[in-house]
Amino acid sequence: HIGSNYITAGGLIAFAVFFGAGLSLAKLFQSELFRRFLTRLKLGKNFVSIIPTIFGLATLIFFTVTATNAAGIPLAWNQPLPGISLTLVQIFLLVAFLLAVFWISARTKSFLFNRFLVNSGLDRSLQYAVSQIV
């Protein structure tokens, strides 16, 4: 018993499996292979450096909560976390929206600099400055 929850040997094995899978996936997201994959998608340099960290952390949190649930200790995804009024689902959605905004911003800058402002007649450095401002 842990608190008022009954933990079985199968639950502990499930915890170990899920937690191990989470660690393995987090390690994969931190690998150079994943970073090269993101670079091939033509994402910005700053974006490529932050995505593996966010994916690794999100994977670790997701699999830790799942492993704890599998062990027999219920953790609700839709209950507010202590100290803040956000749930785990809302936090994951906020992180996803933040990544989407960074991605859209990077693609917009790239489009402006490489496609839209090329034929404007402006100096190349001025084109870059305009694309960074927008």
The token pair at 119 is 């034929």
Nearest to 77 by CA among 60, 50, 86, 57: 86
Model pLDDT, residue 113: 81
Quote the distance between the C-alpha of residue 66 and its chain's center.
17
27-50: average pLDDT: 88
**pLDDT value at residue 16:** 94
Query: What confidence tier does 19 reach under pLDDT thresholds 50, 70, 90?
Result: very high
What are the structure tokens assigned to 21, written together?
């899978």
Q: Judge residue 64's burial from the number of C-beta atoms within 10 Å of its C-beta, 0-12 exposed, 13-18 middle, 19 or more buried.
A: middle
Confidence category of residue 1, pLDDT binned at 50, 70, 90:
low
pLDDT at 112 over 90: no
pLDDT greater than 90 at residue 20: yes
What residues form DSSP beta bridges with 5?
2
Average pLDDT over residues 97-119: 84
Q: Would the pLDDT of 41 be above 80?
A: yes
- Reply yes or no on whether the pLDDT at 77 is more than 80: no
pLDDT value at residue 52: 92
57 vs 102 pLDDT, higher one:
57
pTM over the 0.75 mark: no
22, pLDDT greater than 90: yes
